[in-house]
Chains A and B, each alone.
Chain A
Amino acid sequence: MAFAVPNLKDGVTLVSMVAVAAAISIAVGRLRKQALLAERQAGIESLRNTMLSALSHDLRTPLAALVSASTALTQDGVESRIQPQLVRMVASEAYRLNRIVVALFDLTRMQGKALTQGHPLQSIDELIGAALTRLEPQLAGRQVRAEVPEEAPLISCDPILIEQVLVNLVENAVRHAPSSPIEVTAWGRGGEMFIEVADRGPGIPHGDEDRVFQKHYRARSSVGHDGLGLGLTICRAIVTAHGGWIMMRNREGGGAKVIVRLPLRQDVFDGGSP
């Protein structure tokens, strides 16, 4: 080791200098880690702020529809022919409003929380099961394959938020890949949990792989426009806040897949590949 030590008087000085150097390197390491954490926190912060303003803005649309539809209903002489139409509008706009409010609450849950710590361990099959149950009406008649190896590890996460990620991903597949089967798989490997949601739809246009996570991104193939256009952005925010990572790719043989990677707690052992 080329280590020039000027005015070195004895071994004790060398030892103490080595100790100082070690202490400095530990401190530098800690600072670097803190900087990384701060950077991640700042990233989540700005992502959250962007979504917050977008969602608050979005609140106005269903609210306006609700006000006009419901006032029309209370007026005398409203044509009986359009009454059921107005009632349906009230119900669907109310649901839309609720989706926005749920998304806003998700953002609140993310606030300043260390999401990988302090949560009870969750089993990924339960989270997938809960998401599929919630989506049952949209999945009616659709072929869905869900597979998790028996020895898959438990993950430490906010169950409500990770279920929301799964709901958004499966909903996204339903919307963009009509009549395609949907596959949801999860497995543990190398200290991480991998979750994959895949379809056999049209896939994503070349070059859009990262843009899909940007707010209000809408694919050309998108069927209907009931989505908030924020589903995948919210997924990215939640996964990032858990110290994880998300990406979308085209599949061999057609279709798209989203892969989520979440860090496992150190005391949790790895479990099988799919």
Chain B
Amino acid sequence: VTEAASILVIDDEPHARALLQMTLGQEGYCCLRASTGLEGLRAAEASAPHLVILDLGLPDLNGVEVTRRIRERSAVPIIVVSASGQEKDKISALDVGANDYVTKPFSAGEFLARVRVALRPFAAVAEGTPQTGTSTFGDLSIDFDARRVARGGRLVRLTPTEYKLLCVLIGAVGRVLTHQQILRQVWGPRHASEMNYLRVYMKRLRLKVEDEPMRPRYLLNELGVGYRFQSPD
């Protein structure tokens, strides 16, 4: 983004809003603010921001509802901010189209990293879009044309399902995908609740791709939510 990216912060808590504005302002982002869900929806439409930061605990509208209504009209990236005890809402918001989340309390560094990822133009998103060429992340490289994966220069043999799982996650590099989103994309909508498939295949994939499968560098677990492919660079 060449011009200063504009970011809409929807949060009813004045201190939290001011703090986010300060954090974002210091990085040169232009910050817009709204204190209710309805005000946020109006601002999202009127000023077409590059990114929306949405607190899930708004007084007037449920954050999931706000996400859904924004998504009906726009593809703007949305990061939801959730507190302990809002796990269900957080997952629902992601399922209806939010791009990522942060859990309160979070550090400024963690928050800004999420903002940078969300502002990055979307790479080939797995659903439908074919991935082409070769991508490299740390010592892992994927040749999409030859459907070949190598780690540290050595070929890694993946089954078709393992390969598909890896591609879906890489398609959203840096962003979290919920269990449902992954199951739907890899196994199809009828298997959206077959968590066991996902657990078993993720375990196998980690054994092949990670040095220490229990302390993964690439295939990160977002507890109770889903998975995130993290590029080490």
Contacts and interface: CB of A to CB of B under 8 A. Distances in A.
7 nearest A-B residue pairs (beta carbon): A105-B84, A120-B195, A146-B214, A123-B199, A159-B224, A129-B214, A126-B221
A98 interface: yes
A150 B207 CA distance: 9
A128 B214 contact: yes
B28 interface: no
Interface of B: 84-85, 87, 105, 179, 195-196, 199-200, 202-203, 207, 213-216, 220-221, 223-224
29 contacts: A98-B105, A102-B84, A105-B84, A105-B85, A109-B85, A120-B179, A120-B195, A121-B196, A121-B199, A122-B199, A123-B199, A123-B203, A126-B202, A126-B203, A126-B223, A128-B214, A129-B214, A129-B215, A129-B216, A130-B221, A132-B215, A133-B220, A146-B214, A148-B214, A150-B203, A154-B196, A160-B87, A160-B224, A163-B223
Given A123-B199, A154-B199, 14 more contacts: A120-B179, A120-B195, A121-B195, A122-B199, A125-B203, A126-B202, A126-B221, A126-B223, A129-B214, A133-B221, A148-B214, A159-B223, A159-B224, A160-B87
Interface of A: 94, 98, 101-102, 105, 108-109, 120-123, 125-130, 132-133, 146-148, 150, 154, 159-160, 163
Nearest to B212: A146
A94 B85 CA distance: 19
A105 B82 CA distance: 14
Nearest to B179: A120
A148 B105 CA distance: 32
Nearest to B199: A123
Contacts, number: 54
Contacts of B85: 105, 108-109
Contacts of A105: 84-85
B121 to A, nearest CB: 28
B183 to A, nearest CB: 11
Nearest to A164: B223
A36 B144 CA distance: 57
A193 to B, nearest CB: 14
Contacts of B200: 123
A108 B84 CA distance: 11
A111 to B, nearest CB: 12
Nearest to A125: B214
A101 B84 contact: yes
A166 to B, nearest CB: 11
A132 B214 contact: yes
A94 B19 CA distance: 16
Contacts of B220: 133
A159 B215 CA distance: 17
